[in-house]
Structure 1
Amino acid sequence: MGGPEGPPREPEDDRDLVERARRGDREAFATLVRRHQDRAFNLAFQVVRNREDALDISQEAFARAYTSLPAFKGEASFTTWLHRIVVNLAIDNLRRTRRSGTTAYDDTRAAPEGGDAEPAALEDPATVLETKQVRALLARGIAQLPPAQRAVLVLREIEGLSYEEISRVVGCTLGTVMSRLFYARRKLQQVMREHFSDLR
């Protein structure tokens, strides 16, 4: 049997860029931004479901990452570290908007700048309508989740992270991750059951 595993191995070029950025190389950090900005935006969008807020969050995340580089010890990958910042900012955003009662939930899918949120190919109108209805229903259910539950659900079901990766991103135990996922999924199932019960 081998010894305990070390921290996740960072791609060589990312590690080099992080080290150069820590020494004050702004172009190295700009390269990191270009490399990770789309996924950071998409992650923020999937949590807050508001494009303007997601853009603000992703930009703020990179600003905080830059100022916090001296404290970055490399115990996690740069991606995991950045995603933790994004998720924390997204959760803070949700809590603020809920307190102010200004939550705006966009049920379209995130797309790269200039891209289409909908499939380019023409589909059967009935299928498109059904897909939009299901998406809107899921959006309604996700919007009702507490911010912490919404974050782990997005990381698991949309980003496809493992439980261990989610634990590192959100900074909590595996047990807490599994508990939040359980209650988030149960809430979505409840919303779906209520919807189809109303259709009877």
Structure 2
Amino acid sequence: MEEAELARKAIGGDENSFTILIQSKRERLYRMAYTYVRNREDALEVVQETVYRAFLAVHKLQQPQYFNTWLTKIAINSALDFVRKSKKVVYAEPGAEGSYEPNHNEEAMDLREALGSLDEKSRTAIMLRYFEDMQLKDIADVLDTPLSSVKSIIYRGLERLKIKLEESESIG
């Protein structure tokens, strides 16, 4: 069954359709959460909170074709809320555990560290664009930001990433 049809049924109260949709998105939700909280247990907690919030609010979703964008927005907000509440400083941890384990080669560690140095909006926009392969318009919807601003945020974020990676290359 098509995602929009499942979303339409979930909005109408069909718990089975909601479950199918969530199951198809669970790994992506976990990867996104892990990027923010950097450990398995916290990422699982963020995913759980995301699913809970989505379940409570799915009847409010007006356009089923935007289920993915809507769920992504809930996941990002859940992750950011978790980080704020726990007042943790999020660093890229080379020894982080989990079923999603990023490559531990030097370039990947440098990239995670450089991403961690970006502001929330830049990091989120770049992650959604390049790790989740989202369209710019969908990123604008998730961030509640005009499309032109999203383009600028990504451009400036990539410039800062480039500088950070060049600095770490010259040090190493």
TM-score range, shorter chain: 0.7 to 0.9
User: Does structure 1 residue 68 correspond to structure 2 residue 78?
Assistant: no
State TM-score, norm by structure 2: 0.82
CA contact (8 A) 1:155 1:161 kept: yes
Q: CA RMSD in A?
A: 2.8
CA contact (8 A) 2:69 2:141 kept: yes
Give the structure with higher Rg (CA): 1
Give the count of matched residue pairs.
172
1:55-94 matches, within 5 Å, as 55-74=44-63, 76-94=65-83
User: Does structure 1 residue 176 correspond to structure 2 residue 165?
Assistant: no
State TM-score, norm by structure 1: 0.72
For structure 2, the 5+ residue unaligned runs are none
What is aligned with 2:38? Answer: 49
Q: Which amino acid aligns with 2:133?
A: G
The runs of at least 4 consecutive aligned structure 1 residues that moved more than 6 Å come to 108-111
- 1:119-169: CA deviation from partner (whole Å, max 9, x where unpaired): 8xxxxxxxxxxx711111111111111111110010112112221121122
Structure with the higher helix share, 1 or 2: 2
Distance 1:192 1:35, change over 3 A: closer
- 1:52-85: CA deviation from partner (whole Å, max 9, x where unpaired): 2222222211111111122110165211111111
Distance 1:196 1:24, change over 3 A: closer
Q: Which amino acid aligns with 1:20?
A: K
- 1:34-62: CA deviation from partner (whole Å, max 9, x where unpaired): 12211221222234433222222222111
- State the identity as a percent: 25
Distance 1:60 1:165, change over 3 A: same
